[in-house]
Structure 1
Amino acid sequence: MRHTHPIAPVPRADRPTRPGVPEPTLTSDTHVPCRKPGSTDTPAIPAQNQGPSVRGLAGFNAASPADAEALLLSCCHSLRWAERVAAHRPYPTVDALLAAADEAGYDLSRADLDEALAAESSALPHPDAPPAARTALRAAHAAYESSFGHAFVISLDGVRPGERLDQVLAGIRSRLGNEPEEERVVAADELRRLARARLAFRLAEALTPRHSGP
């Protein structure tokens, strides 16, 4: 039985959603190479490595191999995964591209997974969250990283903004009890789901008109 780290309960930090402003996620959307476990650095939220600008699926299909791979690496930092997905262009639909990304995600080798996880960072709550919530979540992430040697990753796709903090804390509490190999399986699945969600977001964002002015 693995020793689990006690994690103090965190006060809820519900706040209204502002129209037109994307809710920050409580998981990694920022790739930072070689981040040391237990680091107290606070990554920007919702800062993301967006990669090169491409215009939706057509732009992705027509992009140079380097640009396509750079965009994919901003979703999952495994070079072999990015090369494999980029090499199968052109894709007839976004769904076909996402399915290919999923398939490649299932085939990550141990080294591929280590490479991808090393580039992840655990994000913190929105700056408006109570200080106690920020402190407790930072401690929870540090406990996880101390146990497993990489950032905690979890996909919050479909989780309502007001429930994300609780979801992350529940996930950390639950997964701290996993054996290392068991947790690698869970982390790999969450990373695959994150990569899919990030890729869908990147393609959709590229098609969203940008308006200037108020």
Structure 2
Amino acid sequence: MQLTTARFDAMPEGEAVALLLECCSSRTWAHSVAAARPFGSRTVLLATAAAAAENLDGDDLDEALAGHPRIGERTEDATSRREQSAVTGADTDILNRLAAGNRAYEERFGHVYLVRAAGRTAPELLEILERRLGNDPDTEKTEMRTALAEITRLRLERLVTDTAGSRA
């Protein structure tokens, strides 16, 4: 499904929230972005959505993270499969190291390792994971929020355009 910003601005709040939940599973985020309408342009919508994602905290952030599978694990979610397509067919060593890194990350930080996987290779995803395991909790929280905003933006960009048939 793809729609214009004008159509998104005009849709009933419940429909807008449901659409937004496809991009980020935080109900607080989805309601916040839907309530900020009308945007008038895709640029304003994307900026508002990114800021809202970067400001999630506590249970709202946990809810957003819960919507993301581990990097390298098989998932039923078509969006996540597409975003993580680089790990499909990756060599066994990389997949094993990603699995071990995911476990270490979750033990260290208490939540799933979140990274924008789209456009990255499996070795790049592993390199980022290994680097981020060395982060202090505050630095990692910042990186994780940035990743959440990037993922949310990419998903929203696929759904909303400025004009019919265009991704302006």
Instruction: Give 1:174's aligned residue.
Output: 131
- Which whole-Å deviations, capped at 9, do the CAs of 1:70-107 have from their partners, x for residues lacking one? 12122112211111111122221111110111222233
Asked if 1 retains the 8 angstrom alpha-carbon contact of 2:3 and 2:159, the reply is: no
Report the residue type matching 2:115 in the other structure.
I
1:151 Cα deviation after fit? 1.2
Q: Give the distance between the partners of 1:147 and 1:106, measured in 2 at CA.
A: 21
Asked if 1 retains the 8 angstrom alpha-carbon contact of 2:54 and 2:148, the reply is: no
5+ unaligned residues in a row in structure 2: which ranges?
73-85
Report the residue type matching 2:5 in the other structure.
L
- Which whole-Å deviations, capped at 9, do the CAs of 1:159-198 have from their partners, x for residues lacking one? 4x5xx22221111111111223332222112111211121
CA RMSD of aligned residues (A): 2.3
**More helix per residue: 1 or 2?**
2
From 81, 86, 89, the counterpart of 2:37: 89
Q: Give the distance between the partners of 1:153 and 1:169, measured in 2 at CA.
A: 12
5+ unaligned residues in a row in structure 1: which ranges?
1-52, 209-214
Asked if 2 retains the 8 angstrom alpha-carbon contact of 1:76 and 1:195, the reply is: yes
1:63 aligns with 2:11: yes
Identity %: 34
Report the residue type matching 2:96 in the other structure.
T
Aligned length: 151
Q: Give the distance between the partners of 2:12 and 2:25, measured in 1 at CA.
A: 18
Give SS of 1:178's match.
Answer: coil
Runs of 4+ in 1 over 3 A off after TM superposition: none
- Which whole-Å deviations, capped at 9, do the CAs of 1:114-167 have from their partners, x for residues lacking one? 22112221232543222333222222222212222211111246x4x5xx2222
Alignment of 1:119-198 (within 5 A): 119-124=67-72, 125-156=86-117, 159=119, 161=120, 164-198=121-155
Larger Rg: 1
